[in-house]
């Protein structure tokens, strides 16, 4: 099987290769037959056909050729019938393109189909009847129907043969269009009397191998004398008709004349075209020769028609002519836009000049009606470039940004140059795929959030929010708490961040008094590859809550001893008695303290400063005012709800210290303690007989108990801070040392609590003034206190009861963690004193016990120096030194009372 291959290679303007390959194959090849090695002829490797997804693009729906990518060859897909495909058109060829992608390329392939002799010549009619007059002259011509052979060139009809040849000979001559007219020429006169019917056989033979033939029977009826045949006025007629002309339009009129008269001159017109197509489009009026349009004329299907006409008289004589009809084109076809290959998705980082779509434009019209110009919609980053042979490529002409436009609807419109112009358009939808080119962006440059202290762990504080302009996974934001520390502690122990929602939760409960604010950084990271991130600073502000009540620093509340402020009766209005000092560890308005007088023995005598806590007199002190004054001051903060603390201030209205002692002897215990004390005294009296027997055991137990107490006291390394109480003067002293100086020491024990205790005196020095003396003083040194030991079993029981009572009272006192802060109360002077030592100095010792509680206890004095003035002396004083306090232990049940 002979096969011809032509290969032409050219370059497109846009850079994609356009190759042209031509093959020649015969028709009727079996399915799967080889057409050509396309890979070899185009210079392509077979793996390029596979990776480029090579495929055939054919404009027509039927594909007769298929591509085998693995072998790189073209094969016959369906049986090809050249006559059905091209009819009489030569040459007959198939045109299609081979498309490759990544990068996008296409090649034009032409497969020319050669004819084989597979069709025998045929006649439209199997039998033709002629009526010929016997007077027909020698040389009279009778036009015969041509045979039709669907094959072309040498395989078409090449010769005719007429048998028998007694009266007629066959004459052939060629027309200008290459077709042959067949005529039967009379060679011998006819004699109706000898032979009225003559039967001939016309055989058409083609030139193929093997030769094929077709026959038609000719029946001749010999008529009586009609010796003039019709004659057309022209041998060739020409006419023009516009395509899409209406049916019934007269295309042309032919005329023939006959010199005979009568019935022998009556002419009948007919069409003798062998092809059926012409007879379905045109018809001729048998009487007047008008050629009328009965079908639809389409310039794109056939641009001209050749019609063979026959004029016959009743005598059987005929003449023939030819009518050529030219069809004028009308702009009745819109441009056809064919998408050869396209990409539905393009990456936003695609380089400029990236080919997106390849299209082919075809307009079936001709001339100006077939010239097409294409353009596309504006404001898109694409360009439509023309290549050749009505091929266009759509390429990118600038950078793409999916965040600005994620989809493009590109409308391509093509218009011809006809009048009026026709156009068609197609819309291409192109999705822009995302690239991770945008980092998450927080809504704010920094965040501040507030949370109230004492919050519940796990409480949601607030939410940080970041957005990513990318799409899908590239826009999925995760939140990460960056590593940092707050006061040396990892920030993760303070807060946590939800990775998905950005909600910040408190990990612990915050205390404003420990930390007021802190900051950290949160990172927002997208899910791209590689991921992009950004961070933001978050500051958490702890808001104070009124969770701490005021703490009273002064006056210090004692449990078993009495502390009183002295006011002389000569005090004027506004006299500063003392000052209540309190603090609140909260802040802001929660720490704003106000002082109010809640209770008072005489509310008309004292007032409390609302802001400063100063207790002052509001009127002149008189002799009628009671010596003993008890004030209850309440200290409130400004929080919501408000918290408060109360303090009891004992005030002595007196001009001398003995007057105060005589008045406050009964106040060694508060009134609220007396009921319980009475109960213990009654109990002691009830069991006195029993205790009489066991008094020795009790005394030993007391000694052991005191020894244990001395062992558990913790020694403090804190400094001693002096405290200076009011000054008092004695108006009754007449000696050279008229005043009494008391020294009290403040100390603390080194423990985890801030319990306040007052220890007992380690020694005691007593100066006794003899009133009969002349001012000299005696000093008495003793090893023990005057009332150190009880004198009777009753006293022992009373002491045990008092000890137990005091121990119970010390257990219920409030635990304090406050540091010792010195307070300096106002100084008082005695207008009646005449001694050389007018002031009294008191020193207090504060200490804590080493325990896990914060009980506040007041210990007994460790030492005491007492100066006793003898009123009979001349100013001398005696000092008594003792191991215990003068009133350390009671001497009798009366003293207990």
> Are 417 and 461 members of one domain?
no
Query: Does residue 733 sit within a domain?
Result: no
> Are 73 and 161 members of one domain?
no
Tokens found for residue 512: 């404003």
Q: Are 175 and 82 in contact (CB under 8 A)?
A: no
From the DSSP assignment, how many helices (H) and strands (E) are in the chain? 9, 56
Query: Does residue 567 sit within a domain?
Result: yes
Q: Which of 397, 412, 431 is at the close of a domain? A: 431
> Are 241 and 266 members of one domain?
yes
Query: Does residue 315 sit within a domain?
Result: yes
Q: Is 528 exposed, middle or buried (0-12, 13-18, 19+ CB in 10 A)?
A: buried
> Are 252 and 346 members of one domain?
no
Q: Which of 223, 244, 272 is at the close of a domain? A: 223
> Are 192 and 211 members of one domain?
yes
Q: Which of 173, 188, 223 is at the close of a domain? A: 223
Cis, bond preceding 91 (omega within 30 deg of 0): yes
Read off the pLDDT of residues 110-138 as tens digits, 9 standing for 90 and up.
999 898 888 899 998 889 998 888 888 89
- Please report the beta strands in 544-656, taking only residues with DSSP state E, as ranges in sequence order: 551-554, 564-567, 576-579, 581-583, 594-600, 606-608, 614-617, 628-636, 644-653
Q: What confidence score (pLDDT) does residue 801 get?
A: 65
Residues 398, 405: Cα–Cα separation, whole Å: 13
Query: Does residue 763 sit within a domain?
Result: no
Query: Does residue 695 sit within a domain?
Result: no
> Are 324 and 340 members of one domain?
no
Q: Per-residue pLDDT for 206 more than 80?
A: yes
> Are 200 and 250 members of one domain?
no
Q: Which of 342-346, 590-594, 861-865 has the lowest mean pLDDT?
A: 861-865
Q: Per-residue pLDDT for 467 more than 90?
A: yes
CA distances from 381 to 15, 285, 414, 430, 764 (A): 19, 64, 19, 12, 107
Q: What confidence score (pLDDT) does residue 526 get?
A: 93
Q: Are 541 and 517 in contact (CB under 8 A)?
A: yes
> Are 195 and 235 members of one domain?
no
Residues 834, 734: Cα–Cα separation, whole Å: 7
Query: Does residue 155 sit within a domain?
Result: yes
Q: Which residue has the higher pLDDT, 819 or 337?
A: 337
Read off the pLDDT of residues 661-715 as tens digits, 9 standing for 90 and up.
666 655 444 444 455 666 777 777 777 777 778 888 888 888 888 888 776 654 4
pTM across the whole model = 0.48
Domain of residue 263: give its range.
231-328
The whole-number average pLDDT for the span 285-293 is: 93
Task: Write down the H helix ranges in 219-365.
Answer: 276-281
Query: Does residue 492 sit within a domain?
Result: yes
Q: Are 835 and 733 in contact (CB under 8 A)?
A: yes
Tokens found for residue 712: 């558990």
Read off the pLDDT of residues 367-384 as tens digits, 9 standing for 90 and up.
888 889 898 888 889 999
Q: What confidence score (pLDDT) does residue 424 get?
A: 92
> Are 291 and 391 members of one domain?
no
Q: What is the CATH number of the domain that holds 212?
A: 2.60.40.60
Residues 639, 729: Cα–Cα separation, whole Å: 44
CA distances from 895 to 343, 586, 795, 833 (A): 115, 47, 9, 30
Structural domains in the chain (count): 6
> Are 219 and 320 members of one domain?
no
Most confident stretch, 14-28, 336-350, 493-507: 493-507
- Which DSSP string corresponds to 517-535? EEEEEEEEE-SSSS--EEE
Q: Per-residue pLDDT for 731 more than 60?
A: no
Using 50, 70 and 90 to split pLDDT, how confident is the model at 826? Answer: very low
> Are 508 and 417 members of one domain?
no
Q: Is 779 exposed, middle or buried (0-12, 13-18, 19+ CB in 10 A)?
A: middle
The half-sphere exposure of 244 on its side-chain side, counting CA atoms within 13 A, is 7
Query: Does residue 708 sit within a domain?
Result: no
* Mean pLDDT rounded to a whole number for the chain: 76
Q: Which residues contact 380 (CB under 8 A, 6 or more apart)?
A: 408, 410
CA distances from 4 to 42, 208, 476, 634, 890 (A): 15, 21, 61, 121, 145
> Are 648 and 605 members of one domain?
yes
């Amino acid at each position: 099987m002979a096969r011809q291959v032509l290969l032409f290679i050219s370059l497109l303007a846009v850079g994609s290769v356009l190759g042209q390959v031509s093959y020649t194959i015969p028709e009727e090849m079996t399915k799967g037959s080889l057409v050509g090695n396309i890979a070899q002829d185009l210079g392509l490797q077979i793996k390029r056909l596979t990776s480029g997804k090579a495929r055939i693009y054919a404009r027509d729906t039927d594909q007769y050729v298929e591509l085998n990518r693995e072998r790189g060859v073209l094969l016959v897909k369906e049986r090809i019938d050249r006559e059905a495909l091209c009819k009489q058109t030569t040459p007959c060829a198939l045109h299609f393109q081979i498309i490759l992608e990544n990068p996008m390329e296409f090649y034009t392939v032409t497969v020319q189909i050669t004819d084989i002799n597979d069709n025998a010549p045929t006649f439209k009619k199997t039998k033709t009847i002629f009526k010929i007059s016997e007077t027909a002259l020698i040389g009279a011509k009778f036009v015969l129907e041509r045979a039709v052979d669907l094959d072309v060139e040498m395989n078409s009809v090449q010769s005719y043969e007429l048998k028998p040849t007694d009266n007629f000979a066959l004459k052939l001559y060629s027309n200008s269009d290459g077709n042959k007219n067949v005529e039967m020429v009379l060679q011998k006169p006819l004699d109706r009397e000898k032979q009225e019917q003559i039967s001939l056989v016309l055989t058409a033979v083609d030139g193929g191998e093997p030769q094929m033939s077709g026959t038609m029977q000719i029946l001749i009826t010999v008529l009586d004398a009609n010796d003039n045949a019709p004659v057309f006025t022209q041998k060739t007629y020409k006419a023009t008709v516009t395509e899409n002309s209406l049916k019934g339009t007269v295309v042309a009129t032919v005329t023939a004349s006959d010199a005979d008269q009568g019935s022998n001159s009556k002419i009948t017109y007919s069409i003798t075209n062998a092809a059926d197509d012409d007879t379905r489009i045109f018809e001729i009026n048998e009487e007047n020769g008008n050629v009328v349009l009965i079908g639809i004329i389409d310039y794109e299907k056939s641009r001209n028609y050749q019609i063979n006409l026959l004029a016959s008289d009743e005598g059987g004589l005929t003449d023939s002519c030819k009518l050529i009809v030219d069809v004028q084109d009308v702009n009745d076809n819109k441009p056809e836009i064919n998408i050869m290959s396209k990409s539905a998705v393009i990456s936003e980082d695609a380089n400029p000049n990236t080919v997106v779509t390849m299209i082919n434009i075809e307009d079936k019209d001709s001339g100006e009606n077939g010239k097409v110009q294409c353009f596309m919609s504006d404001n898109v980053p694409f360009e439509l470039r023309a290549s050749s042979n009505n091929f266009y490529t759509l390429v990118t002409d600038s950078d793409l940004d999916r965040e600005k436009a994620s989809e493009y609807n590109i409308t391509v419109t093509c218009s011809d140059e006809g009048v009026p112009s026709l156009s068609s358009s197609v819309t291409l939808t192109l999705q822009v795929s995302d690239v991770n080119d945008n980092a998450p962006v927080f809504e704010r440059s920094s965040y501040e959030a507030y949370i109230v202290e004492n919050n519940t762990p796990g409480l949601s504080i607030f939410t940080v929010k970041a957005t990513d302009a990318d799409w899908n996974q590239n826009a999925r934001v995760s939140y990460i708490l960056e590593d940092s520390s707050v006061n040396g502690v990892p920030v993760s122990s303070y807060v946590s961040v939800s990775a998905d929602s950005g909600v910040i939760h408190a990990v612990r409960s915050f205390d404003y008094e420990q930390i007021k604010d802190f900051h950290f950084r949160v990172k927002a990271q997208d899910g791209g590859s590689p991921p992009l991130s950004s961070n933001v600073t978050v500051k958490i502000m702890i808001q104070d809550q009124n969770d701490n009540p005021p703490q009273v620093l002064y006056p210090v509340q004692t449990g078993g001893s009495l502390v009183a402020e002295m006011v002389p009766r000569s005090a004027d209005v506004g006299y500063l008695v003392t000052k209540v000092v309190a603090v609140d560890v909260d802040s802001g308005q929660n720490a704003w303290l106000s002082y109010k007088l809640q209770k008072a023995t005489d509310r008309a005598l004292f007032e409390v400063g609302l802001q400063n806590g100063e207790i002052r007199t509001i009127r002149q002190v008189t002799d009628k005012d009671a010596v003993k004054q008890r004030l209850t001051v309440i200290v409130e903060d400004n929080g919501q709800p408000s918290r408060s603390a109360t303090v009891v201030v004992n005030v002595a209205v007196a001009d001398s210290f003995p007057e105060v002692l005589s008045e406050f002897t009964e106040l060694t215990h508060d009134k609220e303690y007396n009921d319980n004390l009475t109960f213990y005294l009654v109990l002691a009296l009830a069991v006195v007989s029993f205790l009489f027997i066991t008094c020795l055991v009790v005394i030993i137990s007391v000694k052991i108990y005191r020894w244990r107490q001395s062992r558990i006291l913790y020694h403090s390394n804190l400094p001693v801070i002096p405290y200076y109480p009011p000054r008092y003067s004695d108006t009754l002293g007449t000696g050279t040392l008229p005043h009494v100086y008391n020294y009290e020491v403040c100390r603390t024990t080194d423990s985890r609590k801030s319990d306040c205790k007052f220890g007992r005196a380690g020694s005691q020095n007593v100066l006794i003034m003899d009133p009969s003396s002349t001012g000299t003083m005696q000093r008495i040194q003793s090893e023990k206190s005057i009332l150190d030991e009880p004198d009777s079993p009753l006293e022992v029981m009373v002491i045990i009861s008092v000890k137990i009572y005091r121990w119970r009272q010390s257990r219920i006192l409030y635990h304090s963690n406050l540091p010792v802060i010195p307070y300096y109360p106002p100084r008082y002077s005695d207008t009646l004193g005449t001694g050389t030592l007018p002031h009294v100095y008191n020193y207090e010792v504060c200490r804590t016990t080493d325990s896990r509680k914060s009980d506040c206890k007041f210990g007994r004095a460790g030492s005491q120096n007492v100066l006793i003035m003898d009123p009979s002396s001349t100013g001398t004083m005696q000092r008594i030194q003792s191991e215990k306090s003068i009133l350390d232990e009671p001497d009798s049940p009366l003293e207990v009372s």
